Chains A and B, each alone.
Chain A
């Protein structure tokens, strides 16, 4: 039996062993996490079916299980059955359904396995239903039953226990930063160039995706080079540097809030003024927008920015100068769903690329109408759905190929990973870079 099959079986065993009390508890959980907005949205779906082609899963596999309205109505069926009068009286008439083992299996397969919470169906819904929000409520209900796919749950648990989702030990992180500082000094030709750690009072606390120190350390050097060129006062934290928040994907609001709160407390502890969220789409969405719903307004007016916005600010203010002739290959830009469609950081990366590369070409569609690369929603963690993920990325691969670009820039490390896999799978022959890497290469240093 393969490792994936074993993991799947554990969930199967748990589903088989579910007791009535557990299902009742799950319903209470669902009831408690839905707010009045969700209840209104639950009354709104017309099942017009026009959302079908907005979904990259459906584009790759036009089966009913991949249809956004089908996925949404799996959650709505339960809502109607237990929380509406007609659903209690005549469930079959309005498509209401019991929360039983069969429904749980469908939820697991569709809500986790066929959705990246990218929000494209939401943006294009004829009514405007926040489909990912309701699907996430379904995921959260599964989380309350300990039915989150184990690979994703393990990422969440590691983040909570170790402070970062890759389980990097504190000393390893500090050693990495120290080593990278030497790289930075060589790169900028300035022995005094620093990658500060735990510097109290630094204006910026910079957070990163732990995949960077683990697999892409040079992207940290790129960011440091930009800070150095801009003469910024910034620091890393030894303990709280992880911008990711996989609680967003598991649907567990409590854990998501815990992770978000930790970063806020670190900003306070270090006395920083701005929390800068590194190139991580879901990290930006989670901390900038969603966290307020998990932990509320903390009473502090914490300024939070994407590193993209910070870099663009440096260029606008003349703190760094860019030379596009230093990036000659044709470049295209992938818009991470959580940063762009759900995050609102849309034009700054374009502003930067137009100044940092000599040939920039947009994908079609782009900006808030972009297609998900397929790596979001925790899909990269859930190895059991890897084949679907790669197939769902086909439309993104076709978009990239159509641009003729040789470099794909993605301001999100999850997207970078997925695009790297798509590059191999669909033989695109491109390089995948972050915005910081491209900008750092174009930075003109004095002298």
Chain B
């Protein structure tokens, strides 16, 4: 089909494209006006950011997660698998062997993660309210990532699938900044803004509860 080195370089190029496009997307937000200087930060605001990335991620702190623990668990496993698969891809691109101790657990994680992704896709397709707020990108992004996970599993078990993994990886990276997968960066951006907002206003972390011990 393609020579392995061509595919490797194509994936590297697509990954660079993804990083570049994400960087450009972040820069493009700064083409909008700057927040008013009055929007200053202080120590409390930064405590809010710590909260946003720490306790604020727990289901008991966030009703949307607390009331949907199954979806939360699926989401955590899904994203863990994606990060593991990206690491796995990194080893493959560098031509380095995956450490033996990680081989078996990562394959299990890829499998579970792909199943979680599929479950989230089915949930989106079958839940009327979720379907109503969805657009083609929501399905496409999920399918691309699920395929990436599935082929990571297959390639980890049998090198014959490597070309297919590289092709799907290429698609994954090219699609990343185009659709909702861009949240891999903007999620962190939004959480920082969330923390600054509630921290600055002394809402989070809960000062009263802290005082009450």
Binding site for B on A (CB under 8 A): 31-32, 34-41, 43-44, 46-54, 62, 64, 67, 69-70, 73, 86, 92-95, 122-130, 289, 292-293, 296-297, 340-344, 346-347, 350, 367-369
Contacts and interface: CB of A to CB of B under 8 A. Distances in A.
Contact of A49 (B30, B34, B133, B193): B133
A24 B37 CA distance: 28
A36 B32 contact: yes
Nearest to B57: A126
Contact of B207 (A38, A293, A347, A369): A347
Contacts of B206: 346, 367-368
Interface in B92-139: 127, 129-130, 132-138
A124 to B, nearest CB: 4
Contacts of B182: 43
Interface string B174-199: 00001110110011011101110110
Given A35-B32, A124-B63, A130-B197, A50 B186 contact: no
B138 A47 contact: yes
Contacts of B68: 50
B138 A39 contact: no
Given A62-B129, A86-B178, A95-B135, A43 B211 contact: no
B135 A94 contact: yes
Contacts of B189: 40, 44
Which 7 residue pairs across A and B have the least CB separation, nearest first?
A128-B194, A292-B38, A95-B135, A347-B208, A344-B202, A50-B64, A39-B29
Contacts of B63: 53-54, 124, 369
Contacts of B67: 50, 53
A125 B197 CA distance: 14
B25 to A, nearest CB: 7
B201 interface: yes
Interface in B14-61: 25-26, 28-39, 52
B135 A93 contact: yes
Contacts of A32: 33
Nearest to A291: B38
B80 interface: no
Contact of A127 (B28, B133, B187): B187
A50 B65 contact: yes
Given A70-B133, A124-B62, A296-B36, A368 B193 contact: no
B75 to A, nearest CB: 8
A347 to B, nearest CB: 3
Contacts of A126: 62, 64-65, 75
Given A40-B29, A53-B63, A289 B190 contact: no
B198 A39 contact: no
B32 A34 contact: yes
A69 B134 CA distance: 10
Contacts of A37: 29, 35, 193
A127 B39 CA distance: 21
A130 B194 contact: yes
B33 A34 contact: yes
A35 B38 CA distance: 13
B82 to A, nearest CB: 14
Contact of B129 (A41, A52, A350): A52
A332 to B, nearest CB: 17
B13 to A, nearest CB: 20
A51 to B, nearest CB: 6
Given A36-B32, A40-B186, A367 B208 contact: yes
Given A70-B133, A94-B137, 13 more contacts: A35-B34, A35-B35, A43-B29, A46-B183, A50-B64, A69-B133, A93-B137, A94-B135, A128-B190, A128-B194, A342-B201, A346-B208, A347-B207
A70 B71 CA distance: 19
B150 interface: no
B193 A94 contact: no
Contacts of B138: 47
Given A36-B29, A36-B30, A368 B133 contact: no
Contact of A36 (B34, B191, B208): B34
A114 B31 CA distance: 31
A129 B36 contact: no
A70 B37 contact: no
Contact of B193 (A51, A73, A93, A128): A128
A128 B207 CA distance: 20
B203 A129 contact: no
B204 interface: yes
Contacts of B133: 47, 49, 64, 67, 69-70, 73
